[in-house]
Amino acid sequence: MEIKGVDIKSVIGFVRKNFPERYDDWVNALPEDSREIISGKILHSYWYPYIEGFVQPLQKICEIFYDGNKEGSREEGRFSADNDLKGIYRIFIKVGSPNFIIKRAARIFQNYFQSGEFKVVESSPQRAVAHMVVPDLHELHEVNVAGYMERALELSGCSGVTVRITRSLFSGDSVTEFMAEWE
């Protein structure tokens, strides 16, 4: 599986912004294939190897900056939402309801992954349930998407946002299920 360069650039930007003094430590801790990708010229629209370009860098973020806690992946997802939804996709935040934003995310998903699916299966005024199916999905990616969804809802004006992973491809379920609730 492959992932777009824009996602890798987000991971790099997250470390540069939040841990600038330890950026080189992070890069040097990466496996060689990942280090080559991260240290090279990343093109936004180019496809890169999923594990080496995205998963392994997230693993090192969690190990180095979050004492092995997966929360680092969630925080990077929130960071990515800030970049996307205050930048190129800011119009969605200005004109869309929370459910509109989540449904729109399902369409945007196709821009970032060559294979897989993200769809909203339940939608109500204060809750949405989405399913994601991606070949060889990694647990840190699930957590990352939950963080992205959480921040997207906050940016749309929701308060009391929680996004839980209630089913997991990584754990053997047929889908990864995200349950988002807000006030």
* DSSP per residue, 137-169: --HHHHHHHHHHHHHHHHHTT--S-EEEEEE-T
Q: What is residue 135's predicted lDDT score, i.e. its pLDDT?
A: 82
Q: What is residue 106's predicted lDDT score, i.e. its pLDDT?
A: 65
Predicted confidence band of residue 87 (pLDDT cuts 50, 70, 90): low
Between 116 and 38, the higher pLDDT residue: 38
Query: Within 13 Å, how many C-alpha atoms sit on residue 48's CB side?
Result: 26
Q: Is the dihedral of CA 61, 13, 134, 4 positive or negative?
A: negative
Length of the chain: 183
**pLDDT surpasses 60 at 156:** yes
Q: What is residue 53's predicted lDDT score, i.e. its pLDDT?
A: 96
- pTM equals 0.90
- Give 45: exposed, middle or buried? Use CB within 10 Å, 0-12, 13-18, 19+: exposed
**pLDDT surpasses 90 at 168:** yes
Q: How far, in Å, are 62, 127, 135, 174 from residue 182 at the CA level?
A: 27, 6, 30, 26
